[in-house]
Chain A
Amino acid sequence: MHRDIRLLTDPFVPGSLIGPFTDACNGLGGVCTFVGEVRGDNNVEALELSHYEPLTLSGMEELADKAAARFDLIGLLMVHRIGRMHPDEPIVCVSAAAAHRRSAIDAVDFCMDHLKSAAWFWKRELRAGKWSWIEPRAGDYADLSRWK
């Protein structure tokens, strides 16, 4: 399986990743891509994602291994921002290529649910000049339990 797993410290353009990714996936019949962006609701001025170098990227690689074992994939791209971001900036891009659509769609759904609740990222947001940490959401754990 072709794989491209990265942490980025600078803003990125998801569209620019997808062309080279699909070019590297010979024989694909379908591609599914999800892009998550910083929401600007509730007067959020900025979002900051911190990580722990020895665990975060290796955890994403392990997640890619699980996706590869579970779904019939030709390629998987998982790119995640760290650092400070502003509303409308992309945070995450996951793209899966497969011979058939279901594998690609399910693999992206699987990776996103795990990134949201089981990857080593801590998030805080800036509102009215004040930073506050974001607590885990019950809904994220419920999403994750769908794959158990």
Chain B
Amino acid sequence: MSVTIHFLGPLRDMAGEDCRAVDAPLDWTGLLAVVGPEIAQQLNEARVNVACAGKVLSDKTTLNARDGDEVALLPPVSGG
């Protein structure tokens, strides 16, 4: 039973991988704990967004990912 975390843009380099499967369910505290301090610090910045199951969360601290959900960590976009 798992949630897949996707690391986008520069967060991919920090994570050293595109994605990682972790135990479900996953909330905000669990996410910060599982990604490690460097990425957790980024996630605490307002300019980094989080999406769950294809929707960007208006308040990322309400994250409540269930089994099978994708959680995407979205740093600021650098444009098309």
Q: A residues touching B (Cβ–Cβ < 8 Å)?
A: 36, 49-50, 52, 54-55, 58, 80, 91-92, 112, 115-124, 133-137, 140
Contacts and interface: CB of A to CB of B under 8 A. Distances in A.
Q: Is the interface of A mostly helix, strand, loop or mixed?
A: mixed
Given A55-B56, A133-B10, A140 B70 contact: no
Which residue, A36, A54, A137, has most C-beta atoms of chain B within 10 A?
A54
Interface of B: 6, 8-10, 12-13, 51, 54, 56, 70, 72, 74-80
A113 to B, nearest CB: 10
A135 to B, nearest CB: 6
Which residue, A36, A134, A137, has most C-beta atoms of chain B within 10 A?
A134
B51 A92 contact: no
A94 to B, nearest CB: 10
Which residue, A91, A120, A140, has most C-beta atoms of chain B within 10 A?
A120
A123 B51 contact: no
Contacts of B76: 135-136
A29 B9 CA distance: 41
B54 A55 contact: yes
